[in-house]
Structure formats: C-alpha cells, structure tokens
Structure 1
Amino acid sequence: MIVAAALLSTAALGAGMKVTYPANETAGDTRFNDLMEIMRMALEKTTPEFGPFELEASSEKMNEDRILSELKNGKSINIAWTSTSTEKEKDLLPIRIPLRKGILGYRVALIQANKQAEIDKIGTLIELKKLSIGQGIGWGDVKLYEANGFNVTTAKYDDLFKMTASGRFDLFPRGISEAFAEEERNVKANPTLAVEKNILIYYPWPYYFFFNKSDAALQKRMEAGLRKMIKDGSFDVIFKKYNGKAIAQANLKGRKIFRIKNPLLPKETPFDDPSLWFNPVSQ
C-alpha cells in the first residue's frame, strides 16, 4: 500500500498542473498564436516555484460565447483569453495585464475595395456612425459598437470576409495585428477584399487571461509568470514578434483617428501603469 501510494504521488508530481485552453474555432486560425506562446512561456517560467504542467487544447472547437460558458461552469477548459468587461470580471477571475498591450483597441478595417473613395469623405464621428459594421457572433465588440450608435451585423468568423468583400456592410474593424494577415489569407477567395487606408478607430480594449472563480492557484501562477516576462523583457519580445510588421504596415500616424467610448470597461483597468500599454505616438 505504501509503495502504491508513493507511485501514485510520483505520477501526480510528474503530470503536474493540467492547463486546458479553448481550441480555435476555425482550423488553421493563427489569430491567437501570440497568446498561446505567452501562456506557455508564463507556465515555463514558473515551473521552479509551482512545478510541472500539462498544456493542451480542448477537444472541441468553441466560439467566444461557448468559451465563456465553459470557463464559468468549470467544465472543459480552465484558462481563456478575451476582452474584459464588468460582467466578465464579475463571473471570472482576471489577470489585469493587457496581453497585447491594448493594441486590439486600435482598429483598422477590412472593406470592399471600391468603398475606399466613399470612406475617404468621412470627416466626423457622426458621419462614421452612418457606416455599417460587421462583427463575429458573440464578440464583445458588438455591444460596444451598438452602445456607440453603430449598426452592427453579426455572422460566423469565416463568413465575414466574403460578406465584407460583397459589400454586405461597410467596415469590418480588425486589430492592427489581424487585418493585414486576414486580408492576405482571404483575398484570393475574395478579390475585392482590402484593408481601408485612412481611418483608425480607437477604444480601450484590453485582452486578459481569465480563469474560473475557484481556480485561484492557476491564476496566481500565470500572473507570476507574466510579471517575470515583463521584467525580463520576453513579454515585449513576443509583442514585437507578432505585431511589429503590422504596426509598420498600418501607417498609424497617417490615419485619421476616431475615438469611441467603451462603456463595458471595469474601473479596475490598470491605466495608471503606462508600461502595460501600446503607445502609437512612440512608434
């Protein structure tokens, strides 16, 4: 019995903490490769203090609504990444470190190419709000755009590119690090798809790691790992690896910026620490 117990204990130690994250909704989707790299590195950097870990994707693909439901109910995943909101921080445990330094709040749009001339005439936020917007089903941005007076159409992620190219709506706002890669992947099938050239929409939109309310141990470990990464510079290395090219392509200083409010943002958002946030002025 003692030998068996010892073997079980050793096996458990070897297996370590099991970390299950949501599988991508779409095969070949690379949007979250940076966050998966950050997640793995944070776990690796905390192995000396917290022990070994097993990291795996969930067995089923999930959209954002399903991810939040599964995490809240403590079912098939125990970590996820998503934009923050007062509601999410009430239901889940956040780590208030913006994983992409808030860059997702700087939005350039995918458009039907022949709409560029019409969009170039936009000079005010009132005029911008007359344009229709496309977003994914269940995305947090939907409520934000609607709260700011925009007309929003929702669809499955894969369908949004064809809908944009065919003119079903005027703008499909994307994060700087998303727009150019998505155009490149989808323009062959949708030749009229293009990145809009002159407008930048900004709203505070931090992405965090979230956990089930009962999983403070994993939250503590991940936060310790992220703090180590920020201190040793590896966090910024990953940020530049995945965002540097797109920042240059976006020509941020040459765009007209439209600022809209984020009424979903919790008061605990760490705006008092500028080191956590992307600043386009310094680029």
Structure 2
Amino acid sequence: MRLIRYRLLSTVFLLLCSLAYVASSNAMAKSVTLVVHPADEDNGDTRFNDVKEILRMALEKTVSEFGQFTMRPSTQHTNGLRYLNNLANGGDLNVVWSSTTIEKERNYLPIRIPLRKGILGYRIVLIRKEMQASLNNVKTLEDLKKFTVGQGVGWDDSKLYSTNGIEVVEAKYSSLFRMLSYHRFDLFPRGIGEIFTEFEKNHATNPDLAIEEKLLIYYPWPYYFFVSKNDPQLQKRIETGLRKMIKDGSFDAIFWKYNGKAIESVNFKKRRLIQIQNHLLPKETPLQDESLWFKPKMN
C-alpha cells in the first residue's frame, strides 16, 4: 500500500511538474513579441523617425499586459507598395505604416489612430523658383489642374490626384527632387511636416528649387499602423499603447517634437486653402474625434 501511494504521489508530482513546465514554456513564448517594421527606403532617410518612436513607445507602454518585445526593421529596403505586399504575403514584416484606403482596410487590420494627427493632409508645394509668379493666381482646384505633380511609386496620393483630374508623374522618392528641377513635372506636394527638412536636404544639389509661398492644399489623409489580418493580438497591443499615449500626453509630445517647428514655419494665415476630395477614404475614419486631429488656424 505504501509503495502504491508513493507511486501515485510520484505520478501526480511529475504531472504537476509537466504542467508547470508547459505553462512556463507558453508564458516564455508569449512574453517576447517580435515586431518587424519597414526599413528605410534609402540610407539616411529620416522621414519615419517619428512613427518608429511612436511604435516603440506604444509597445513599451503595454509590456505589463502583453509582455516584453523586440523591435527591428525589415531586412528589405523598399517602397510602400512592396512592404504592404510583404505584409500580405507572409514576409518578415508584421507591422507597417501607411495612408489608409478602402482597399487597405479590407486587406489588413488598421489601427485607426492617425499617427501624425492628419498633418499629412496639409500639403505645401515644392516648385522651381520661376514658377511662383504663375502660382500666385491659383485659387481653385480647376486652376491647380493646369499643373502636373510628382509622386513616389506606390503612393496612394497618385490615385487621389488623378481622380481629381490632376496629371501625375511617378518615380522613386529620392529621384523626384532632381526630376522637378529638370522640368519633368511642375509641383511636388509635401506634408507640412516634411517639406522644410526635405528642402534643406536637397537644395544644395537642386539650387533652383523653392518652397511655394501662397498655397495650402488639403485633403483628409490619415496615416495608420496596419497589421496582418492574422495578427489581431498585435493590433490590440499597438492600439492599447496608442490610447495610453493619447491619454498621458506622450503622443502629442512626440507630434510636437517632430512637427512643431514646421507648423510655426507654414504661416497658415497667408496661404490660400484648396481642398481636394479624398475618394479613397473609408467611412470608418474617425473624423469626428477632434482629439485625434491637428487643425490649423487659417484666419
């Protein structure tokens, strides 16, 4: 009887140890989330430093609920269209950032918090210096249709401009500044958080370029994180982190850190606003939540 009891206790002990090992192994497996984001398209490309900082902080703020994480760039340096394909086809990426469209929200899981508070929808135009005089008379969308615009390969803006009757020339992002200088197109619309840094970076090699002085183009253009439809847990984690950041003010702190100087430089009150309709915008876009959006004072 004592032997039987001993064997029974030993069996129960081994079973409990096995269960503990399995539970520990599962906990360890879930404790570290690997987050792979797009690599920079070109070396020295700083366009997405703010987005990467937001992503890292959102992950940091959710460690207690979701466990530790490792965050690194993809091994592929490519453009927006291809890294979306990478996400869809099971490549090494599991989170991307992109402007939203009806099609994207059908194919991926969006996190509907605009990463730059919608600031990308406010566009100032990079031009050749001699064009300023002809642009002084542009007041409407019809006036704007007389000019061609340059856009990066795979940018959704290309569809938006084309839908609104504006001719588009597409090329690799880093080539667009030189192409504008060589008269390949007329206007290069850039977000107000982008244009001043890009002008400083490219002016020395393209000295005839200038920042247009009178116009401000606007279309609602939220920029989101997207994850695979097979990864709702990562979607939940990132959204939870972003909501925490909005609540504690750290989201706005990053926004103003990267965009404050540019916003001061725009001089909104001296610009004419031309609004363009965004036919690509999903109906689920949270346009009514004013806490998510930047709105300039035009008057």
TM-score (norm 1): 0.95
Confirm or deny that 1:19 pairs with 2:35. yes
- In the alignment, which residue of structure 1 is the partner of 2:235? 219
- In the alignment, which residue of structure 1 is the partner of 2:94? 78
Q: Distance in 2 between matches of 1:125 and 1:98?
A: 26
CA-to-aligned-CA distance 1:201-237 (integer Å, 9 cap, x gap): 0000000000000100000000000000000000000
Q: SS of the counterpart of 1:205?
A: coil
The answer on whether the counterparts of 1:113 and 1:165 sit within 8 Å (CA) in structure 2 is no
Q: What is the number of residues matched between the two proteins?
A: 282
The answer on whether the counterparts of 1:112 and 1:166 sit within 8 Å (CA) in structure 2 is no
* Aligned residue runs from structure 1 range 111-260, under 5 A: 111-260=127-276
Q: SS of the counterpart of 1:281?
A: coil
CA-to-aligned-CA distance 1:149-196 (integer Å, 9 cap, x gap): 000000001100001122221110000010010000011111111111
Query: How far did 1:12 drift?
Result: 3.6
CA-to-aligned-CA distance 1:99-127 (integer Å, 9 cap, x gap): 10100000001111111111112232211
- In the alignment, which residue of structure 1 is the partner of 2:286? 270
Q: Distance in 2 between matches of 1:136 and 1:265?
A: 19
Sequence identity (%): 56
Query: How far did 1:248 drift?
Result: 0.9
Q: SS of the counterpart of 2:38?
A: strand
The answer on whether the counterparts of 1:200 and 1:255 sit within 8 Å (CA) in structure 2 is yes
Say what the alpha-carbon RMSD is for the aligned residues: 1.8
- In the alignment, which residue of structure 2 is the partner of 1:91? 107
Amino acid at match of 2:162: E
Q: SS of the counterpart of 1:61?
A: coil
| Range moving further from structure 2, 116-125 or 128-137 | 116-125
Confirm or deny that 1:53 pairs with 2:69. yes
Amino acid at match of 1:110: L
Structure 1 residue runs of 5 or longer lacking an equivalent are: none
Q: SS of the counterpart of 1:60?
A: coil
Q: Whose radius of gyration is greater, 1 or 2?
A: 2
Amino acid at match of 1:113: K
Q: Distance in 2 between matches of 1:266 and 1:39?
A: 23
- In the alignment, which residue of structure 1 is the partner of 2:10? none
- In the alignment, which residue of structure 1 is the partner of 2:13? none
Q: SS of the counterpart of 1:98?
A: coil
Q: SS of the counterpart of 2:37?
A: strand
Q: Distance in 2 between matches of 1:212 and 1:62?
A: 18
Query: How far did 1:11 drift?
Result: 5.7
Q: SS of the counterpart of 1:278?
A: coil
Q: SS of the counterpart of 2:252?
A: helix
- Structure 1 runs (4+) deviating above 2 angstroms are 1-14
TM-score (norm 2): 0.90
Q: SS of the counterpart of 2:183?
A: coil
The answer on whether the counterparts of 2:139 and 2:274 sit within 8 Å (CA) in structure 1 is no
Q: SS of the counterpart of 2:180?
A: helix
Structure 2 residue runs of 5 or longer lacking an equivalent are: 1-16
